[in-house]
Amino acid sequence: MSAFDTNPFADPVDVNPFQDPSVTQLTNAPQGSLAEFNPFSETNAATTVPVTQLPGSSGPAVLQPSVEPAQPTPQAVASAAQAGLLRQQEELDRKAAELDRKERELQNTVANLRVRENNWPPLPSWCPVKPCFYQDFSTEIPADYQRICKMLYYLWMLHSLTLFLNLLACLAWFTANTSKGVEFGLSILWFLIFTPCAFLCWYRPIYKAFRSDNSFSFFVFFFVFFCQIGVYIIQMIGLPNLGNSGWIAALSTTEKDNLPVSIIMLVVAGFFTLCAVLALVLLKRVHSLYRRTGASFQQAQAEFSQGIFSSRTFRSAASSAAQGAFQEN
């Protein structure tokens, strides 16, 4: 009944919300820690935890300080420069070889396309007989083979001169001794037949071999030139009744007091000896050059077969034979 004893019309008691114990505890807390806080002090900096970028995290990336690279040593710089120069030199050599190959291909193409007039033998313009061959060492023969090719050409000229001198020696021998008419007649045949045969059978094949690096032409030259050396040896010896003024024939004339004729024949025998020696030397040099080219007998067979099958005469003959066989069947 005490509740009914209060006066509802009396003034209410003033309630202060700041008098609440929880509020007064917070308001009366010491403020020194906040006032003394210095964010730039070393103590707070020491407790700062660095933020790192974890793998797979989506936070901002933190740039790491760059590390200055180590300076190369002078030896390393020199080695790198030398290696670079060697690479440049190899590249230049490769390009030079490629340009040389293309230049040779272009020269061969131009040589094949351009129609050249024959210039050998060098006959005058008023002569009814025209040159039969084209010969030019500087344009057709590679620089490495020009010297040996010219030496073979000079050997052929010496060969022709020797046969002509042999003819004169046999004529002098026949004049001194009328029984030597057979020797004089055979010397004429030697000069008329073996001068052009030597040009066609061994000089032109070696010229073609050097010009086009043809293995078959090399084999033709070796076979014929080896026989030519044998003929030189026979002519040098001077066997009787063969039309040669060799050593035996020349020495036999000295016994009959034909001194002028003997001197002429001895000179011709010396020319035959010189031809034989030069031929042996040049044969050895050509063989060494042939070995360097890497040619072989199989390659010569292939070139010969290709030349035969590509010949128009062979193809026309084969076509005619095939047509004849078909008509007979």
Looking at residue 257, its pLDDT comes to 57
Distance CA 194, CA 160 (A): 8
Q: 3-class SS at 120?
A: strand
Nearest to 166 by CA among 219, 214, 234: 234
Looking at residue 60, its pLDDT comes to 54
Residue 53, token pair as written in the block: 């970028």
Q: Which residues of the chain have pLDDT under 70?
A: 1-70, 108-115, 255-257, 293-329
Residue 246, token pair as written in the block: 């060799």
Domain ranges in the chain?
90-134, 141-304
Distance CA 224, CA 232 (A): 12
Residue 131, token pair as written in the block: 């040159």
Tens digits of residue pLDDT in 180-224: 899 999 999 999 999 999 999 999 999 999 998 888 889 899 999
Nearest to 150 by CA among 163, 168, 129, 136: 136
> pTM of whole model > 0.85?
no
| 8 A C-beta contact, residue 278 and residue 158 | yes
Residue 57, token pair as written in the block: 């995290």
Looking at residue 75, its pLDDT comes to 77
Tens digits of residue pLDDT in 217-266: 898 999 999 999 999 999 999 988 899 999 999 888 876 657 889 899 99
Looking at residue 301, its pLDDT comes to 54
Looking at residue 28, its pLDDT comes to 60
Burial of 207 from C-beta contacts in 10 A (0-12 / 13-18 / 19+): buried
